[in-house]
Structure 1
Amino acid sequence: MRRVSVDIGGTFTDCFLVWDDKYVAAKALTTHQNLALGFNASLTQAYGQLGLSLEDVMADVDSVRYATTLGTNALIERRGPVVGLITTAGFESTVPLSRGRGYGEGLSERMRKDLPMAERPEPIVPIPLITGVRERMAQNGEIIMALDEDDLRAQVHRLVDRGAQAFVVSLVNSVVNPAHELRVEEVIREEYPEHMLGSAPILLAHKVVGRKGEYARTSSAILDAFLHKAMYLGLSSLELNLRENGHQRPMQVVHNSGGMAQLNSTDALQTIHSGPVAGIAASEHLAAETDLGNIVCTDMGGTSFDIGLVVEGGIKFYDYNPVIERWMVNIPMVHLVTLGAGGGSIARFDRLRQTVAVGPQSAGSDPGPACYDKGGREASVTDADLLLGYLRTDNYAGGRIVLNEKRAASVIRRTLGEALGTDTIAAAKLVKQRVDNDMANGIAQELRARGYEPSQFTMLAYGGNGALHACGIASAIGITRVLVPPFSSVFSAVGAGNMDQLHIHEKSLYLQIYDSVTRSLLSRFEGFNAIVAELEAKGRADLLRQGFAETDIEHRLEVDMRYGNQLAQTAVVVGRNRIGNSDELLELIDVFGRDYGKRYGEGSQSPEAGIRINTVRVASYVTTPKLRFADILPPEDSLHGAPEAEAVRPCHFVGVEGPIETAFHTLEKLALGAVVTGPAVVISQSTTFLVEPGWRLSVGRYGAGWLQRNEPGSGGAQ
């Protein structure tokens, strides 16, 4: 297996190169103005470690896979075309009203409750660029009012006159019968062929989302249209960069559904949060191959802190109505929670509470933290870590970035110390304590909202800063065991390399499978099976278009089920791809009942209200070769005594008065299974392990290690 996988983050571009039985990780600063530059820099480091040339790598790797923040950045910067929306007359206010909850979606719990200060997000499509056309489709697909094409042409002219550069067409009930949406596209092309208007994208909502829900479906199509140009130009430049360097195979793009596809089969919306999702995918593979039990995935990079869950040997949680920035969309996305807490997160004085607040703003990679000495003027988490003694000024990021300690001290003293009336070290401690507690609270809320206790989980800590803050986070939340996985600083890039080709297609329907009035089960399954076959055909076409053999394509069937008219809806994985008789239907009902009971409490099931299926979903995929984590996972048991420290330096720890003499080690010089007892700092080429007092580190291969809290009486600081 020869493969390059890349995670382009807000601060660093991570690269993971698999070359037969050799594995190499590398990092470089993200170059937002041209993503190819950061990719080339990280790849150069990777192949240089193996003594290879760029030509060797680009000609011989099986695939190059990207997870990128391109769409996320475009949303933050509001960098996109002027979008015009065409909807059914009478429904023009669907998007501006946003179900009446638009002021709160995408905000923290505290801000959602602050109604007097509530502000809706700046709309991507302002009201003057929303127009209605006379047409109407019934919920069963019957045409109630034919499309008025004269009215449509007038409305299209109106949007163009107002500056529309992209069109979204979202008509009521088009997921059931898309005839009118398809005709609207034809009319726009007739009125404004490409030689007149240029290549203006036209997105039909039924092609973006196959489920009902007018607001979320329309929002999905709007975001897709808004991000289309930025994604196309950015990813096309990356693919062109590959071509110029001799790689002739199609570029692969990671999707937030947990799979990947070629660029020509990727929607812009599918790239949002693809990097963190790749990390969760790597965690899922690791859990499936080992006996870790429940794991909480934590990815602390330079800009954000991402949380995901993998339970019971590899079960993933999906969001089917996720919120992207401030808008609810209607696409299946691997569930994750993102906090504005990373190494570059800015620390500031909170005047209201007279303490330190951290994030969500970040210094990013340019100018970066103040200690990067590139012009940063705000205190960051990395600046605090440097002042507390955990980081070496001459050995950060493998020596590629020289840190300026005086600059960090000056900024923390000016922005925090003076306001708090305390010295610089005390202010830095408050920064570390705050960011660790914020991340611990985020994990606790995510676990307890799903009925879990943190003590039931092993914490997986990865990302460039994961090993540095793992002990502080785990101590705050009551977790006693942390695994820093192999290649932890580029773990999301590792996950991108382990993903399968995957496409998900879904369709809304109203199917009563148990009628509580007549007490009868559904007896005719032709309609349901026809929908499944239709969705399988779409997924098969996607994968055949990308060059895969039909015999390699597999399908997984899922349905969204509910009791009666309840709002609570549960996604159920069906054990087969067709339902042929009542016994098979009863098996599905039984699985639904068990899943519902686990989620809402045994005994809460309500079959007396009837049982229905609202959505059919088919995941079509091709399994690809993967890196085997079981072969490289570090030993959990102690094999060696504590090695002699290379150096001893004073470090400062939260809750401890004054500095503590702390042992410093180089990870690459430690033997497999060596045990380092805290307080200690273990430095590698790509990350830093902070072994806090009361913890110990068991060293593994490829930068991995177990961090475990010492049992009372086991020795070491407590």
Structure 2
Amino acid sequence: MRQVSVDIGGTFTDCFLVYDDAYVEAKSLTTHHNLASGFMEALAQACAQIDLDVQTVLSTVDAVRYATTLGTNALIERSGPSVGIITTAGFEWSVPLMRARGYGDGLTEAAQVNLPGADRPVPLVPVTRIAGVQERVDYAGTVVLPVDEDDVRRQVRRLVDEGAQAFVVALANSVVNPAHEKEVERIVLDEYPTHLLGAIPIVLSHRVSGRKGEYTRTMSSVIDAYLHDQMYHGLGSLEVELRRNGYTKPMLLVHNSGGMAQLNSTSSLQTIHSGPVAGLEATNYLSGTYNQPNIIATDMGGTSFDIGLVTSDGVKFYDFNPVIDRWLVSTPMTYLHTLGAGGGSIARYDRLWDAIEVGPESAGSDPGPACYGRGGRLPTTTDANLVLGYLDADNYAGGTIKLSLRRAQRAIEEHICKPSGLSLIEAAKAIKRKVDTNMAAAIFKEVAVKGYNPKNFVALSYGGGGPLHACGYANELGIQNVLVPPFSSVFSALGAGNMNQLHIHESSLYLMVYDATTRQMLGDYRVFNDNVAELAAKGRNDLLRQGADPADIRSRVEVDMRYGNQLAQIGVVCPFEQLTSHRDVIELLDLFSNLYAHRYGEGSQAPEAGVRINVIRVVSYVDHEKFDLQPTHADPRPAPSPSRWRECHYPGIDGAVKTAVYDVAVLDEGHVVEGPALVETPRTTYLAEPGWQLTVGRTGSAVLAKTI
């Protein structure tokens, strides 16, 4: 196996290179002005470790897999094109009204408590660039009013006069009959042919989201169109750079649905949060190889802290209506909770509450934490860790970044010590304690809300800052064991290399599986089977277009079911792809009932309201070869003498504590390090706090276990 996997985060660009039997990790600072620069720098570092040049590697690898933040950056900076919306007449205010409470989407929990005081986000599409056209399709897909071609032409010209650089066509009920959206597209292209529009897209909402819900479907399409320009040019420049260095195969992009696809089969919306999703997919694979059925995946990078779950009952958590930035959308994404608690998260003193707060604002990579010496003046988590003695100023990030202790001290003194009256060390401890508490609270909520007990889980800690804070949040939660995976600092990049090519297609429908009024089960299976066949064909064609072997294509069918008109909706994985008998229907009803009881409690089922299917979803995929991530089998034995000692400070302990410092090169598989101790690797630092011990595993993995 030969492949390159890269995950671009807000602060660091991570690279994982597999070249025959060599597994290599590398990091570089993210270059937000041109992501290709950081990409190539990280790749060059990885290639140097196996004594090969970039051109040799790129000309011989099987694939380059890429998780990007281009779309996220475009939303943050509001740097997308001017988008115009064409919708059904009478629905022009669906987006501005935002379902009446949309102004609370994307806000912190504290802000959502006071929704009347919340501010609406600045709209991506102002009211003046929303046009209604004369047409109508009913809920069943029947044409009630044909498209008025002259009216469409007038509205399109008006939108262009208003400055529209991209069109979103989002007509009512187009997911059950897209004929009118296709007709509007034809008219737009007739008015403004492709050689005039260039790369600016015309986005049809039924192609972006197959589910009903006018607001969420329209916003999904708007964000897709808004990101298209920057994604097109950014990824295009990266592809040119790869071609210039000898790579001739298609580039594979990680999707937030848990799969990947070629650039020509990827929409902009599918790349949002793709890096953290890759890490969760790696966690899912590691759960099986390490025989750890219940894992809390925690990814602490430079900007954020991401939380995901892998459970023994096999439930895969999707967010079918995620909030992206400040907007609710209807594209399926692997569920993750993101917290502003990374190494670059900025600390501040809150005078009102007389408390230290950390995040969600981040210093990122430019200017970065104050200790980077790149112009940052605000204190961050990394500055606190340096002051507390956890980091080696001369060997941070493999020695590529020299840290300034004095700059870190000055930032904390000016912004935390002076207003709070705390000493330097106490202020740094308060920052670490706050970060750890924030992470623990977020983990507990995510696990408990889903009906699980955090104490029954093993925490998986990865990302550049994860192993440094793992003991801190584990102490708060009462978790006894923390697993640090192989190549932990670039684990999300590794996950990108372990993902399958995958596409998800879904369709809204109203299908009664059990009618409580007539007390009859579904007897006509044609609607279900026809929808599944159509969606499976779309997924199959996507994969065939990318060169997949037809014999390798697999699929699974999922349905969203609910009791009557309840809002609670459960995703059920069907054990079959076609309904053939009443026995299949009964099996599906039993699966739904059991899942509903597991989620909401036995006795909460309500079959007297009837059971219906609202969405059919087909996941089409091709399995790919996976990395070898086998657990350690060595017998535990005492570690050798420390490489050196350092004075460190820990929350809850007065005064400095003499702490053993180990260079990872002197430790072998099975060595047990008693805390307090630091294990330094070229790209991250493991911290075993007092009362913990660390057992070294294979390829940089480790187990942190509480001893008291």
Q: 2:651 matched to 1:654?
A: yes
Partner of 1:149: 149
Q: 1:443-458 counterparts in 2 under 5 A?
A: 443-458=443-458
CA contact (8 A) 1:284 1:315 kept: no
Q: Does the residue aligned with 2:18 lie in a helix, a strand or coil?
A: strand
Specify the alignment match of 1:682 in structure 2: 679
Per the alignment, residue 525 of structure 1 pairs with: 525
The reply to whether residue 698 of structure 1 matches residue 702 of structure 2 is: no
The residue aligned with 1:542 is 542
Alpha-carbon distance in 1 for matches of 2:431, 2:196: 56
TM-aligned CA deviation for residue 115 of structure 1: 2.7
Correspondence for 1:466: 466
For residues 59-458 of structure 1, what are the structure 2 equivalents within 5 Å? Answer: 59-312=59-312, 314-458=314-458
What one-letter code is carried by the residue in structure 2 that aligns with 1:370? A
Q: 1:187 to 1:342 in 2, by over 3 A?
A: same
Tell me the distance in 1 between the aligned counterparts of 2:209 and 2:249.
29
Q: Distance in 1 between matches of 2:111 and 2:610?
A: 38
Q: Tell me how far apart the structure 1 counterparts of residues 463 and 124 of structure 2 sit (CA, whole Å).
A: 32
> How far off its partner does 1:36 sit?
1.1
| Cross-structure match for 1:38 | 38
Paired with 1:41 and 1:109, the residues of 2 have a C-alpha distance of 39
- The one-character-per-residue Cα deviations of 1:74-111 (angstroms, maximum 9, x if unpaired) are 10000100000010111111011111111111112221
Contact 2:133 2:148 in 1 (8 A): yes
TM-score scaled by length of structure 2: 0.99
Are 2:199 and 2:229, in contact at CA under 8 Å, matched by a contact in 1? no
- Counterpart amino acid of residue 219 in structure 1: M
Partner of 2:5: 5
Shift of 1:701: 2.0
Q: Distance between the aligned counterparts of 2:564 and 2:447, measured in 1?
A: 29
Q: CA deviation at 1:293?
A: 2.1
1:424-471 per-position Cα deviation (integer Å, ceiling 9, x unaligned): 111111000001100111101111111111101100000000000000
Contact 1:597 1:603 (8 Å CA) reproduced? yes
* Alignment deviations for residues 105-154 of structure 1 (CA, whole Å, 9 cap, x no partner): 11122211113421111110011111111111111111111111111111
Q: CA deviation at 1:525?
A: 0.8
Paired residues of 1:103 and 1:112 also in contact (CA < 8 A): no
Are residues 1:509 and 2:506 paired? no
Partner of 1:715: none
Give the Cα separation in 2 of the matches to 1:100 and 1:64: 44
Deviation string 1:178-212 (CA, Å, 9 cap, x unpaired) is 11100111111111123444443100000100110
Aligned-pair distance for 1:314? Answer: 4.9
Partners of 2:420 and 2:635 in 1: CA distance? 43
Q: Distance in 2 between matches of 1:481 and 1:382?
A: 24
User: Partners in 2 of 1:634 and 1:474 — Cα distance?
Assistant: 22
**Separation in structure 2 between the aligned mates of residue 116 and residue 614 of structure 1, nearest angstrom:** 32
What amino acid does structure 1 have at the position aligned with 2:632? P
* Distance across 2 between alignment mates of 1:125 and 1:702: 49
Contact 1:671 1:699 in 2 (8 A): yes
Paired residues of 1:348 and 1:358 also in contact (CA < 8 A): yes
Q: How far apart, in 1, do the equivalents of 2:347 and 2:289 lie?
A: 39
Matching residue's letter, 2:11: T
1:620 aligns with 2:617: no
1:645 paired with 2:642, answer yes
Give the whole-Å Cα distance in 1 for the aligned partners of 2:39 and 2:138: 50
**In 1, distance between residues paired with 2:584 and 2:242?**
49
Partners of 1:392 and 1:522 lie apart in 2 by 66
Matches within 5 A, 1:515-594: 515-594=515-594
Helix, strand or coil at the partner of 1:5: strand
In 2, distance between residues paired with 1:162 and 1:383?
48
Distance 2:133 2:87 in 1: 6
Contact in 1 for aligned 2:639/2:667 (Cα 8 Å) = no
- The size of the alignment, in residue pairs, is 708
Judge conservation of contact 2:200–2:229 (CA < 8 Å) in 1.
no
Cα distance in 2, alignment partners of residues 385 and 573 from structure 1: 45
Contact persistence 1:89–1:135 (CA under 8 A): yes
* Partner amino acid, structure 2, of 1:675: V
One-letter amino acid matched to 1:634: T
For 2:217, give the aligned amino acid: R
The Cα of 1:662 is off from its aligned counterpart by: 0.6
1:103 alignment partner, SS class: helix
SS of 1:583's partner is: helix
Query: What's 1:495 paired with?
Result: 495
CA distance in 1, matches of 2:524, 2:196: 52
Alignment correspondent of 1:56? 56
- Deviation, 1:17, is 0.6
1:290-344, CA deviations, whole angstroms, 9 ceiling, x for partnerless residues?
A: 3112111000000000000010165420011111111111011000000111000
| CA shift in 2, pair 1:153/1:64, >3 Å | same
Q: CA–CA distance in 2 between the matches of 1:562 and 1:537? A: 26
1:634 alignment partner in structure 2: 632
Instruction: State the partner residue of 2:486.
Output: 486
Give the superposition deviation at 1:240.
Answer: 1.1
CA distance in 2, matches of 1:43, 1:97: 46
1:358-391 residue CA offsets vs partner (Å, 9 max, x unmatched): 0111111111100001110100000000000000
Query: How much does 1:638 deviate?
Result: 5.8
Shift, 1:702, TM fit: 1.8
Corresponding residue for 2:607?
607
Whether the 8 Å CA contact 1:287–1:314 is kept in 2: the answer is: no
Q: Is the 8 A contact 1:288 1:314 kept in 2?
A: no
Structure-2 separation of matches of 1:476 and 1:360: 20
Is the 8 Å Cα contact of residues 638 and 675 (structure 1) preserved in structure 2?
no
Counterpart residue identity of residue 207, structure 1? R
Q: One-letter code of the match for 1:677?
A: E
Determine if contact 1:634/1:705 at 8 Å carries over to the other structure: no
SS of equivalent to 1:621: strand
* Cα RMSD (Å): 1.1
1:714 paired residue number: none
| Contact map agreement 1:106 1:327 (CA 8 A) in 2 | yes
Q: Matched residues in 2 for 1:494 and 1:204: separation?
A: 34
**Identity between Structure 1 and Structure 2 (%):** 58
Call closer, same or farther: CA 1:376–1:444 in 2, change over 3 Å.
Answer: same
Residues in 2 aligned to 1:299 and 1:634: alpha-carbon distance in whole angstroms:
22
State the secondary structure of the residue aligned to 1:702.
helix
Verify the 8 A CA contact 1:634 1:706 in the aligned structure 2: no
Cα contact 1:284–1:316 (8 A) shared by 2: no
Amino acid at match of 2:160: V
Structure 1 residues 69 and 199, CA, compared in 2 at 3 Å: closer, same or farther?
Answer: closer
Q: Secondary structure at the match of 2:617?
A: strand
The letter for the 2-side match of 1:708 is A
User: What secondary structure does 1:502 align onto?
Assistant: strand
- Cα offsets for 1:498-526 (capped at 9, x unmatched): 00000000000000111111111111112
* 2: CA distance, partners of 1:197 / 1:549: 36
Contact 2:637 2:671 in 1 (8 A): yes
Q: How far did residue 225 of structure 1 move?
A: 0.2
TM-score normalised according to structure 1 size: 0.97
Q: Is the 8 A contact 2:216 2:328 kept in 1?
A: yes
> Alpha-carbon deviation of 1:56?
2.1
Query: Cα deviation per residue 1:148-173 (whole Å; 9 max; x = unaligned)?
Result: 11111111111000100000000000
- Cα distance in 2 for residues equivalent to 1:311 and 1:452: 9
Corresponding position: 1:710 with 2:700 = no
